[in-house]
A = this chain, B = another copy of it.
Amino acid sequence: MKRWVVGVDIGGTNLVVGLVPVAGGPAVALRTRATGPERGPEAAVADIVRMAEDAIGETLDREGGRREDVVGVGIGCPGPLDLERGVIIDTPNLGWRGFPVRRRIAEALALPAVLDNDANCATYGEWWQGAGRGTATMVGVTLGTGIGGGLIVHGRIVRGASGSAGELGHTTIDFTGRRCACGNYGCLEAYASGPNIAARAREGLEAGYRSVLTELVEGDLERITALTVYEALVLSDAYAHEVMTETAKILGAGIANVVNLINPEVVVVVGGVTRAGDHLFEPLRSEVRRRAFRSAVDACRIVPGQLPETAGVIGAAGIFLAERAGGA
C-alpha cells in the first residue's frame, strides 16, 4: 500500500499543506489559505491541522489505504528556529515568538513531526524531486522578500552547529556597503531582495531615468515592487532591463562566492524574481563565470527551480523522511 508524509509550508503570505508519497512523486490534495499571521500561531495551527486532515481523508478515499499509511509530518517555516526543540524562536515575517510549532502540529495530528526552515525545505524539495535530482552537492537560493539559501553536501542538507547554515542572503559582497536589516553591512539581501530591487529601481527614477515603470504605478513610485519591475521588463522597458541586469550581476557576485566555496553541481534559484527568466539567468550566469574558478563554473549548472508551487511542501516531507527514516 502507498505510504504518505504530510508536507506543511508556513509562509508569511500563505499556508500550504499537501500529501507526498514516501516513494517520491508530486504533492497531492494540496490545500492553500492565507496565513494571516496577525491571528497568532494557534489559529494557523488549527488551520494547518484542518487542512491536513482534509488532505489525508481525500487521499486515502481516492487511493485506498488506512490512516497508518500516513507516517509523519514535515514542517517548513521561516526562521530563526530552534530545530532541535522544534520551536519558532522569533520570526519577523510572522511576528510569532517562542512557539512550539512542531509539538502542536504533531500532537494535533497524532503523528511524528520534523521542523526545518523554509529555505532548507525548498532546497531539499528541488534536490529530491526537482532541478537538483541526482546531485551530491547543491545550493538552493530563494529570492523573495528576503534572500535565503540551503546547502546539500554529501547528499544531505547542511544545518551547521546551530541550525542556521545556508544564510546566503546575509553574506557580505561589499564590506563597506549599506547596512542590512540583520545588522551586517553590504549583505547580498540588502541589494537583491525583492524590496531592495524595487528600492534600487525607485532611486534611478528619482534620479531622472525614464521608464514605463512610472506609468505602471501612475506616478506613485512608492508602489513599485519587484513584480512591477518584472511587468516593465515584459513590456521591453530598457530601464527595467537595466535594473534586472544589475540585480543579476549582484546576485552573481554572491553566487560566485558560494560556487567557489561549495563547488556545487547545481545552483537552483527559486522565487518570484525567477519569472524574469533569461533576463535574470543570462547575466547571472555570465557574472558567475566572470568571477568564479573555471573548474567550479564548468562543473555547475545555474537553473530555475522546477517546483515553483510545491518545493516547500515536498521538501518538508522529504526532510521528515531523511531525518526520521523508519518513523518514530
Contact = CB atoms under 8 A, between A and B. Distances in A.
Contacts of A173: 172-175
Q: Chain A interface secondary structure, helix, strand, loop or mixed?
A: loop
A254 to B, nearest CB: 8
Contacts of A149: 261
Contacts of A160: 137, 262-264, 296, 299
What's the interface size class on A, roughly? 35 or more
A186 B171 CA distance: 14
Interface string A151-175: 1011010111111111110111111
A174 B291 CA distance: 12
A145 interface: no
Contacts of A293: 80, 164, 167, 170, 182
Nearest to A257: B171
A156 B263 CA distance: 15
B256 A164 contact: no
A258 interface: yes
A300 interface: yes
Given A153-B153, A256-B172, A165 B298 contact: no
Given A161-B265, A162-B296, A295-B80, A174 B171 contact: no
A164 B253 contact: no
Given A164-B263, A167-B261, A167-B293, A156 B154 contact: yes
A164 B260 contact: yes
B161 A264 contact: yes
B262 A172 contact: no
- Copies of this protein in the assembly total 2
A263 B162 contact: yes
A288 to B, nearest CB: 10
B175 A263 contact: no
A287 to B, nearest CB: 9
Nearest to A166: B261
Nearest to A138: B161
A246 to B, nearest CB: 11
Nearest to A157: B154
A176 B175 contact: no
A197 B79 CA distance: 38
Give the residue among A184, A257, A292 with the most B Cβ atoms within 10 A. Answer: A257
Give the residue among A149, A174, A262, A264 with the most B Cβ atoms within 10 A. Answer: A262
Interface in A242-281: 249-250, 253, 256-258, 260-265
A153 B158 contact: yes
Contacts of A166: 261, 263
Given A166-B263, A168-B260, 8 more contacts: A80-B295, A153-B158, A160-B296, A161-B263, A171-B256, A171-B260, A182-B293, A184-B291
Nearest 7 Cβ contacts at the A-B interface: A160-B263, A161-B299, A162-B299, A165-B263, A175-B253, A171-B257, A167-B260
Interface of A: 80, 135-137, 149, 151, 153-154, 156, 158-168, 170-176, 182-186, 249-250, 253, 256-258, 260-265, 290-293, 295-296, 298-300
